[in-house]
């Protein structure tokens, strides 16, 4: 037996696999029956079936130092975020400004039209990728803002994790640089666990059509570290607060 086959057989023996077993299918081209069932479960999930997910989320967020806000609609969410902007104070300096993703859901909030916000600048990260000056302007606005408002692709109930794919207009810095991160998602974007997330990313038709973007960020709570004497500190490398707004299904 040549050395290569002998080596492979040694590995198979160590793994407890008989020599006549076909090799593992590492690069599957279609979902298994179990994955098809899971995809169908996600697609047909009703509001009533999401109630336990919301309850699980409600129980998870306190330990992650997150604030959960359940809102009946887009207008209620806009008013609640407006109150948050008014109540919170900047960590650095005294002037307030806010930066928002250029995202359909965030744009529907129309925060720039909320009268109570008065003269507080509400910046938008709309960018077509062609103007370097506009890129610098967005960077300056993100750095100056004390609240960054984003949406997310999905929210995982089991771990209160936001899954955010990078796209034009969805700068990662909006969720990383300002002291307060506000994330807004619809109830329909709730998933039970990471298994559902990875099944969707791998097999969902829309996800496969878009493919992988430059980055997929998973966020569970504000920035935290316990490097020094195991004392938990929030906001050391990113936002000190994370407010998650869930908008109820229509």
| Residue 15 in domain | no
**Distance from first CA to last CA of the chain, Å, rounded?**
66
| Residue 102 in domain | yes
Q: What letter would DSSP give residue 157? A: T
| Residue 148 in domain | yes
Among 73, 222, 98, smallest CA distance to 161 is for: 222
| Residue 88 in domain | yes
- pLDDT tops 80 at residue 114: yes
How far apart, in whole angstroms, are the C-alpha atoms of residue 155 and residue 56?
12
pTM score of the predicted model: 0.86
| Residue 2 in domain | no
Question: How confident is residue 93, by pLDDT bands cut at 50, 70 and 90?
Answer: confident
pLDDT value of position 94:
86
Q: What letter would DSSP give residue 41? A: H
| Residue 108 in domain | yes
Question: What is the average pLDDT value for the chain, to the nearest integer?
Answer: 91
| Residue 196 in domain | yes
- pLDDT tops 70 at residue 127: yes
| Residue 18 in domain | no
CATH number at residue 178: 3.40.50.10420
The number of domains in the chain is: 1
Q: What is the pLDDT of residues 21-76, one digit of tens each?
A: 766 666 788 899 999 999 999 999 999 999 999 999 999 999 999 999 999 999 99
Please give the residue range of the domain that contains residue 210: 32-247
**Residue 5 φ/ψ region, left for φ over 0, alpha for ψ in the -120 to 50 degree band, beta for the rest:** alpha
What residues does 162 pair with on adjacent strands? 155, 219
pLDDT value of position 42:
96
Among 86, 80, 89, smallest CA distance to 109 is for: 80
pLDDT value of position 115:
83
Q: What is the pLDDT of residues 200-221, one digit of tens each?
A: 999 999 999 998 888 899 999 9
- pLDDT tops 70 at residue 144: yes
Question: How confident is residue 14, by pLDDT bands cut at 50, 70 and 90?
Answer: confident
Higher pLDDT, 184 or 20: 184
């Amino acid at each position: 037996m040549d050395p290569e086959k002998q080596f492979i057989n040694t590995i198979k023996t160590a793994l407890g696999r008989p020599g006549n077993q076909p090799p593992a299918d590492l690069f599957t081209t279609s979902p298994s029956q179990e994955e098809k069932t899971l995809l169908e479960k996600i697609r047909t999930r009703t509001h009533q079936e999401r109630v336990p997910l919301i309850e699980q989320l409600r129980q998870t967020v306190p330990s992650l130092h997150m604030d959960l806000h359940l809102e009946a609609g887009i207008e209620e969410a806009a008013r609640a975020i407006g109150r948050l902007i008014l109540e919170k104070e900047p960590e650095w300096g005294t002037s307030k400004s806010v930066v928002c993703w250029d995202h359909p859901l965030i744009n529907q909030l129309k925060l720039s039209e909320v009268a109570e916000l008065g003269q507080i600048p509400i910046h938008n990260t709309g960018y077509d990728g062609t103007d370097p000056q506009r890129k610098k302007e967005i960077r300056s606005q993100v750095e100056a803002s004390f609240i960054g408002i984003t949406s997310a692709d999905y929210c995982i109930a089991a771990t209160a994790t936001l899954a955010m794919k990078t796209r034009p207009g969805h700068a990662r810095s909006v969720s990383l640089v300002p002291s307060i991160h506000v994330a807004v998602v619809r109830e329909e974007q709730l998933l039970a666990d990471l298994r559902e997330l990875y099944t969707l990313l791998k097999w969902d038709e829309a996800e496969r059509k878009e493919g992988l973007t430059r980055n997929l960020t998973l966020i569970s709570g504000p920035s935290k570290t316990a490097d020094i004497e195991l004392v938990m500190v929030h906001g050391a490398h990113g936002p000190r607060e994370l407010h998650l707004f869930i908008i109820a299904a229509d």
